[in-house]
Amino acid sequence: MKAIVSICCMLSLLLLITADEEEDVLSSIVRDRSHIEETLRLAAEENSGDYAAALQKLMKIYHSSIKPMEQAYKYNELRQHEISAYPGRTLGDSATDGEITSKPMVLFLGPWSVGKSSMINYLLGLQDLPYQLYTGAEPTTSEFTVIMHGEKIRSVEGIVMAADSSRSFSPLEKFGQNFLEKLIGIEMPHKLLERVTFVDTPGIIENRKQQERGYPFNDVCQWFIDRADLIFVVFDPTKLDVGLELEMLFRQLKGRESQIRIILNKADNLATQDLMRVYGALFWSLAPLINVTEPPRVYVSSFWPYDYAPDTSRELFKREEISLLEDLNQVIENRLENKIAFIRQHGIRVRIHGLLVDRYVQTFKERMSFFSDPDLVFKEIVDDPDKFFIFKSILAKTNVSKFDLPNRDAYRDFFGVNAVTNFKPLTAQCSYMGGCLLEKIERAITADLPALLSSLTSGKNPIFSSCEATGCGEKPKNRYRRN
């Protein structure tokens, strides 16, 4: 009876609190966010002119030197057969202008209700605002939510995002209309979003079958993983078990260990001794999934706007939070260097693809005779390329590593929809004004892109290290044409 009376008295006192007093109480428990702006240097003005000039140079190199070979040999129709075929990007995907000009992407992954949406709200200061991401103890995020910069606050439907070629999300149409209904964009004016884009994902629920989502969840996750500059995999102390869906997710993350950051969130819910046990249990659960010499960095803190629980390691949590913000700031500072490295890596793959198609074409022509059946001849080549030294001959070329060669089965499918007779050999891919496709892409990989990168690191204005495509007015040499 006494307990009931006490509860009634407490409720009466709560009802007597005025709006001003309620605001004072909330302000006393809300955490100070000044270190976020200081660490991310949000108040500093960027030198947008130099950044735009370098980006323009990068676009010019891509369009003049890499994209022509992409189109000539239909690189975008090449498909991967294994996730590990090209760690970091889906084999056959073309670079788009939207991807080159896009901001760095930070991807949030993890089980349901571990604080992914709350962490985004905290970083952007959206708590208690009408457009904050919805959070709760139950699974709340059922969509892939892209939070990006815009002149005003508005939501963008997935079908609109996929239809807009100026954005980097147009390739998502391949996952179907059911997925596009689960994709949403939120635009808002914010200093941090001028420099980075956040992607919130549905929480992993181990007792749900993939088919029940209505779209290929793992394939969609792979698409975002391939394009993410930083990947936060979030856990909380109560959800450390690893099921099939989480195991599949870490398999997809293989090769991206340098971008992964593990976050043990809600750490102030535990006493120090219990936190040490949970930290060890987290590593024990993840050890079989992360088979690398140096494991990803783990941050232990509580990423939400309210103050840490009393009698917890608040100083440790604050240092961990600042370290994570420095990690995020590093990605923002290096965004242009990362784009140049990505385009160069993409150019290397396009070059290898062009060399392989050229080798298939040459072998086909060498094996053909007047009485040969072209279908049977090429079937023999594509079924057993090692017999004709297709891939081994490419390894003899400069700057081709055996670890960069794509899966052989990918070319069986590629030539299944693209007849070998539709392609010209590299010796025929030259023109007086445009130069040779192979020479242009090799110059971009070995000279133009490294020169652009070094000009950024040395603080100089970005310049080309070579002449324009016409070869300084000279007729381009075709070193592959027989004399």
**pLDDT tens, 310-319?**
888 889 999 9
405-417 average pLDDT score? 88
Give the pLDDT confidence score for residue 118 in this predicted structure: 92
Q: Is the pLDDT of residue 128 over 90?
A: no
The pTM (predicted TM-score) of the whole model is: 0.78
User: Same domain, yes or no, for 166 and 303?
Assistant: yes
Give the Cα separation of 406 and 408 in Å (integer): 6
Q: Does any domain span residue 9? A: no
Task: Clarify whether residues 133 and 205 are in a common domain.
Answer: yes
Write down the pLDDT at residue 399: 67
Residue 324 within a domain: no
The pLDDT tens digits of the residues spanning 91-116 come to 455 556 777 888 999 999 998 888 89
Q: Is the pLDDT of residue 241 over 80?
A: no
Same domain, 211 and 250: yes
343 and 420 within one domain? yes
In a domain, 259, yes or no: yes
Instruction: Give the pLDDT of residue 136.
Output: 60
Contact (Cβ atoms closer than 8 angstroms) between residue 250 and residue 289: yes
The residue from 280, 312, 344 where one domain ends is: 312
One domain for residues 243 and 124:
yes
For residue 57, is it within any domain? yes
Asked which of 257, 280, 312 is the last residue of a domain, the reply is: 312
Q: Is the pLDDT of residue 307 over 60?
A: yes
The residue among 288, 291, 346 whose CA lies nearest residue 61 is: 346
The answer, yes or no, to whether residue 18 has pLDDT greater than 60, is no
Predicted pLDDT of residue 478: 45
Distance separating alpha carbons of residues 60 and 55, to the nearest angstrom:
9
Q: Which domain holds residue 224?
A: 103-312
Residue 135 predicted with pLDDT over 60:
yes
116 and 265 part of one domain: yes
Of the pLDDT bands very low, low, confident and very high (cuts 50, 70, 90), residue 127 is confident
93 is a domain residue:
no
How many separate domains does the chain show? 2
Whether residue 222 sits in one domain with residue 149: yes
**CATH (domain of 116):** 3.40.50.300
How high is the pLDDT of residue 138?
A: 52
Instruction: Specify whether the CB–CB gap between 66 and 350 falls below 8 A.
Output: yes
Segment 312-337 mean pLDDT: 92
* Spatial CA neighbour of 452 closest among 101, 54, 48: 54
Same domain, 167 and 226: yes
Rounded to whole angstroms, the Cα distance separating 282 from 239 reads 9
Domain assignment present for 306:
yes
How sure is the predictor about 295, in pLDDT bands with cuts at 50, 70 and 90? confident
Report the pLDDT value the prediction gives residue 16, as an integer from 0 to 100: 44
Residue 175 or 132, more confident: 175
Structure tokens at 451: 């020169």
Asked whether residue 57 falls in the same domain as residue 107, the answer is no
pLDDT for residue 365: 93
Q: In the predicted model, what is the mean pLDDT of residues 396-409?
A: 80
CATH number at residue 65: 1.10.268.20
Looking at per-residue pLDDT, the higher value among 17 and 188 belongs to 188
| Cβ-contact 435, 476 below 8 angstroms | yes
User: Would 24 be classed as within a structural domain?
Assistant: no
Q: Report if residue 390 sits inside a domain.
A: yes
> Where is pLDDT greater, at 232 or 171?
232
427 and 346 in a common domain = yes
Q: What average pLDDT does range 134-146 have in this prediction?
A: 72
Q: Compute the Cα dihedral for 87, 346, 234, 222 and give only its sign.
A: negative
Per-residue confidence band for 171, with pLDDT thresholds at 50, 70 and 90: confident
Q: Which of 4-8, 64-68, 243-247 has the highest mean pLDDT?
A: 64-68
The reply to whether 281 and 381 lie within a common domain is no
Strand, helix or coil for residue 316 = helix
Task: State the chain's mean pLDDT as an integer.
Answer: 81
Do 108 and 61 share a structural domain? no
Kindly provide the b/e burial profile for residues 157-187, where b requires at least 16 CB atoms within 10 angstroms of the residue's own CB. ebeebbeeeebbbbbbeebeeebbebbbbbb
Across 42-51, 66-75, 472-481, the highest mean pLDDT is recorded for: 66-75
**Phi, then psi, of 111 in degrees rounded to 5:** -60, 170
User: Of the given ranges (93-107, 143-157, 162-176), which has the lowest mean pLDDT?
Assistant: 93-107
pLDDT at 472 over 60: no
